[in-house]
Structure 1
Amino acid sequence: MIANVLTIAGTDPSGGAGIQADIKTFSALGAYATSAITAVVAQNTQGVRSYVALEPSFVADQIDAVLDDVRIDAVKIGMIANAQVAEAVADRLRHHAARNIVLDPVMVAKSGHALLAPDAVAAVRDLLVPMATLITPNLPEAAVLLGREDDWTAEDMRAHLPDLLALGPEWVLLKGGHLQDSTESTDLLTGAAGTETFAAPRITTRNDHGTGCTLSSAIAALLPSRSVTQSVREAKTFLHDALAASDALDVGHGHGPVHHFHRLWPREPR
Structure 2
Amino acid sequence: MKNALSIAGVDPSGGAGIIADLKVFIAHKVYAMGVVTATTAQNTKGLYGMQLIDTKLIKDGINAIFDDIKVDVIKIGVVPSVEIIKTVADTLKAQKYLPPVVLDPVMSCKNGDIWLEGESKNAIVKELFPLAKVITPNRFEATEILGFEIKTKEDAKKACIELLKYGPKSVFLKAGEIDGASVDVFYDGEEVLFLETKRLNTDSTHGSGCSLSSAIASNLANGDDLKTAVKKAEEYIFNAIKNAFKVGSGCNPVNHFYNFY
Which interval holds the TM-score relative to the shorter structure?
over 0.9
**Aligned equivalent of 2:91:** 92
Contact (CA 8 Å) 2:8, 2:76: kept in 1 or not? yes
| Cα separation, partners in 2 of 1:196 and 1:149, compared to 1, 3 Å | closer
**Aligned equivalent of 2:79:** 80
1:95-174 to 2 correspondences below 5 Å: 95-96=94-95, 97-110=97-110, 115-116=115-116, 118-146=118-146, 148-150=147-149, 152-174=151-173
| Cα separation, partners in 2 of 1:64 and 1:42, compared to 1, 3 Å | same
The one of 188, 193, 213 aligned to 1:191: 188
Aligned length: 259
Cα drift, residue 116 of structure 1: 2.8
* Partner amino acid, structure 1, of 2:121: V
Contact (CA 8 Å) 2:9, 2:39: kept in 1 or not? yes
Contact (CA 8 Å) 2:157, 2:192: kept in 1 or not? no
Cα drift, residue 89 of structure 1: 0.3
Contact (CA 8 Å) 1:81, 1:116: kept in 2 or not? yes
Unaligned runs of 5+ in 2: none
**Aligned equivalent of 1:218:** 215
**Aligned equivalent of 1:264:** 260
Contact (CA 8 Å) 1:75, 1:101: kept in 2 or not? yes
- Asked if 1:255 is matched to 2:251, the reply is yes
**Aligned equivalent of 2:41:** 42
Once the two structures are aligned, what percentage of the paired residues are identical? 37
**Aligned equivalent of 1:30:** 29
* Partner amino acid, structure 2, of 1:228: L
Deviates more, 1:84-93 or 1:107-116: 107-116
* Partner amino acid, structure 1, of 2:184: D
Q: 2:190 and 2:99 mapped to 1: Cα distance? A: 19
* Partner amino acid, structure 1, of 2:129: V
- Asked if 1:239 is matched to 2:237, the reply is yes
* Partner amino acid, structure 2, of 1:252: G
**Aligned equivalent of 1:268:** none
Deviates more, 1:134-143 or 1:106-115: 106-115
* Partner amino acid, structure 1, of 2:27: A
Secondary structure at the counterpart of residue 68 of structure 2: coil
Q: 1:232 and 1:40 mapped to 2: Cα distance? A: 28
Contact (CA 8 Å) 2:164, 2:189: kept in 1 or not? no
Cα drift, residue 42 of structure 1: 0.8
1:181-204 per-residue CA deviation (whole Å, 9 max, x = no partner) reads: 533111111113322111111111
Secondary structure at the counterpart of residue 205 of structure 2: coil
Q: 2:151 and 2:81 mapped to 1: Cα distance? A: 26
| Cα separation, partners in 2 of 1:215 and 1:262, compared to 1, 3 Å | same
Q: TM-score, normalised by structure 2?
A: 0.95
1:196-215 to 2 correspondences below 5 Å: 196-215=193-212
